[in-house]
């Protein structure tokens, strides 16, 4: 082992002794190199899933709608420990949560999509004022980590968020569709004839993803596929 690597390993081991890694979900000490323990039971999306919205077939969220994206997949439901983790990501910008959720997302992207088809990865934007206040966009943190894991290209600032758009989760379902339609603009990026992977943290009605996909298509993108960290398990 090269000297430099040896020293790095020693430093890591000492750091683990002083600050043992703790599970991002329950806070218990976990194995070196891990961000979560083996005991935490997480609300995984499993079973027979709708090939479009990614919900279980008996709770399909499509409601006869035609989306502008081809498909959406998610590793988790937005509840229990996942809900708590996403709140940590959203309001504290917790990097360890971003890394762990992005790892889970990368795993299902690898399994369920042919990653060679993607020309790049984009994320759902946050309005500039909010991004400035928080100092980060949680969807961007996820997208960048996914790119690192899967060796894909992150395309920054493809979509922009209009100034006065309302926060989606505070609106009733029908208003979300109207709000999403008026909320997004397009940045100055060439994405003609590209196949893109669109990333967000949570999907509830699909309105936000659909509006982003609609704008990307208007720009000439050939196809868009989505992955979110969690889908809301309550039907709205």
Interacting residue ranges for Zn ion, rule: CB under 5 A: 23, 25-26, 37, 40, 50, 52-53, 60, 62
Between residues 50 and 131, which has the closer beta carbon with respect to Zn ion?
A: 50
Q: Closer to Zn ion by CB, 23 or 158: give it.
A: 23
- Of 65 and 130, nearer to Zn ion (C-beta) is 65
**CB of 167 vs Zn ion, minimal distance in Å:** 25
| Dist CA 200 CA 209 (whole Å) | 8
Cβ atoms within 10 Å, residue 77: 20
Q: How far is the CB of 76 from Zn ion (least distance, A)?
A: 14
Name the token pair of 76: 């988790």
CA-CA distance, 74 to 82, in Å (whole number)?
A: 12
Q: How many CB atoms lie within 10 A of CB 124?
A: 27
Q: Tell the smallest beta-carbon distance from residue 33 to Zn ion (Å).
A: 15
Among residues 191 and 224, whose Cβ is nearest to Zn ion?
A: 224
* Rounded distance between C-alpha atoms, residue 40 and residue 37, angstroms: 6
**Nearest-approach distance from CB 45 to Zn ion, in angstroms:** 12
Q: Between 54 and 125, name the residue whose CB sits nearer to Zn ion.
A: 54
Minimum distance of Zn ion from residue 235's CB (angstroms): 11
Cα–Cα distance for residue pair 41/190, rounded to 1 Å:
42
Instruction: Name the token pair of 4.
Output: 């430099």
Residue with smaller CB distance to Zn ion, 26 or 99: 26
Find the DSSP H helices in 93-192: 95-112, 128-134, 138-150, 173-183
Counts of helices then strands in the chain (DSSP H, E) = 7, 7
Cβ 111 to Zn ion shortest distance, Å: 19
């Amino acid at each position: 082992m090269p000297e430099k690597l040896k020293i790095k390993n020693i430093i890591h081991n000492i750091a683990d002794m002083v600050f043992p890694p703790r599970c991002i979900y329950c806070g218990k000490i976990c194995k070196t190199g891990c961000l979560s323990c083996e005991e935490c039971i997480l609300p995984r999306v499993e079973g027979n899933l709708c090939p479009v919205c990614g919900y279980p077939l008996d709770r399909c969220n499509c409601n006869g709608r035609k989306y502008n994206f081809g498909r959406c997949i998610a590793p988790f439901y937005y509840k229990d420990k996942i809900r708590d983790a996403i709140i940590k990501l959203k309001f504290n910008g917790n990097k360890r949560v971003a890394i762990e959720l992005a790892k889970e997302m990368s795993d299902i992207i690898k399994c369920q999509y042919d990653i060679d088809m993607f020309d790049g990865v984009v994320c759902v934007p946050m309005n500039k004022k909010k991004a400035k206040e928080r100092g980060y966009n949680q969807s961007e943190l996820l997208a960048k980590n996914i790119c690192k894991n899967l060796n894909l290209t992150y395309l920054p600032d493809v979509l922009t968020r209009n100034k006065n758009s309302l926060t989606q989760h505070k609106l009733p379902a029908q208003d979300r569709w109207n709000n999403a339609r008026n909320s997004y603009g397009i940045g100055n990026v060439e994405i003609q004839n590209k196949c893109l992977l669109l990333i967000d943290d949570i999907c509830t009605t699909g309105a936000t993803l659909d509006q982003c996909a609609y704008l990307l298509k208007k720009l000439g993108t050939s196809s868009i596929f989505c992955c979110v960290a969690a889908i809301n398990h309550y039907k709205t």
